Amino acid sequence: MRALLLRRLATAVPTLAAVVLLSFLLMRLAPGGPFDGELAMDPATRAALVHAYGLDLPLPAQMLRYVGGLARGDFGPSLVYRDFTVTDLIASGLPVSLTLGGLALTLAVMLGISAGLIAATRAGGRTDRILMFAMTLLTAVPTFVTGPALVLLFALALGWAPVSGWAGGDPAHLALPVIALALPVAGAIGKLTRAGLAATLRQDHIRSAHARGLSPSRVLLVHALRPALVPVASYLGPAAAGMLTGAVVIETVFALPGLGRHFVQGALNRDYPLVLGVVILYAALILLFNLLADLLYGWLDPRMRG
């Protein structure tokens, strides 16, 4: 397991460095700037702001200055929200995004594995076909469709939940965005669980377990489920990454003050440090989630530990 961890870390560090470099260059090369508003700014004021934020320095000097700040844990000042640093904005939005993503991933795993278990134990039957059709449908429908659809049905038509807002993490406000974010991932996990479990149940060691007189539930949960979840474990890293990017849409639809909303506003306003800070944090979280998924994969499949 230690060798697996070291190999993943050896690739994660240069990957994150490449993300920082490319993101910085792309943001600087994009047309427009943070001080190009609808109203023309006084040239002297504009020049003073550009100098104050170091935007008049050569590009390599700006890059070194930014990387030096990152090494100290400083993402720099926001060019638009001038009363806040990027670190302040990330600190306020990260708990919202992590809460939303964590609850959505937990719900997706519970729904997906449960549906896969039921379908695999009834392989070829009517229940199996219905569940797999539902899982395929959930996987195919994107979050920017399911989110508004849930609002129209459960918030506006039935009045069971609020339309939008955070309200300090009130469960009523979290229900619809969590469900909207979890459904596509639940569909994929359900299909992977069903495929892996159906194949495992046909293997010889499962037949031997039945022959020894073990109960069907013990055979299923103890002997068959762990190897069947190997494909699910390998998918959890990309799934967590997909939830991070999908949360941008969900947070915008439901007006949640998370990182996704900050990212959208920062991109519209050409707030370079804010966009860069969110992108770098997203990249670091994605690498972390993939590392955790690899470790889980190694625990489920001992052959991957060497």
**Domain ranges within the chain, ordered by starting residue:** 95-260+281-304
**Mean pLDDT computed over 240-249:** 78
Fold of the domain built from segment(s) 95-260+281-304: MetI-like fold (1.10.3720)
CB proximity list for 231: less than 8 A, separation 6 or greater: 192, 195, 196
Phi and psi of 77, rounded to 5°? Answer: -85, 150
Q: Which residue has the tokens 């943001």?
A: 27
pLDDT at 137: 93
The pLDDT tens digits for 193-232 are 998 888 887 777 777 776 777 777 777 777 677 777 878 8
Closest CA to 70 of 284, 291, 290: 284
Phi and psi of 12, rounded to 5°? Answer: -70, -40
Name the pLDDT band for 39 (thresholds 50, 70, 90): low
**C-alpha pair distances (Å), 52 with each of 39, 63, 150, 274:** 20, 16, 46, 17
Residue 283 falls in which region: left (phi positive, over 0), alpha (psi -120 to 50) or beta: alpha
Q: Which residue has the tokens 């023309």?
A: 40
The pLDDT tens digits for 77-102 are 888 787 888 999 889 888 888 889 88
Phi and psi of 85, rounded to 5°? Answer: -90, 165
CB proximity list for 126: less than 8 A, separation 6 or greater: none
For residues 223 and 205, the answer to whether their CB atoms sit within 8 Å is yes
Furthest C-alpha separation in the chain: 86
Name the pLDDT band for 9 (thresholds 50, 70, 90): confident
> Please, which residues bridge with residue 85 across strands?
77
* Encoded tokens for 143: 């979050």
Closest CA to 268 of 8, 38, 109: 38
Name the pLDDT band for 252 (thresholds 50, 70, 90): confident
For residues 227 and 233, the answer to whether their CB atoms sit within 8 Å is no
Is 85 strand, coil or helix?
strand
Q: How far is CA 191 from the centre of its chain?
A: 20
Q: How many CA atoms lie within 13 A of 191 on its CB side?
A: 15
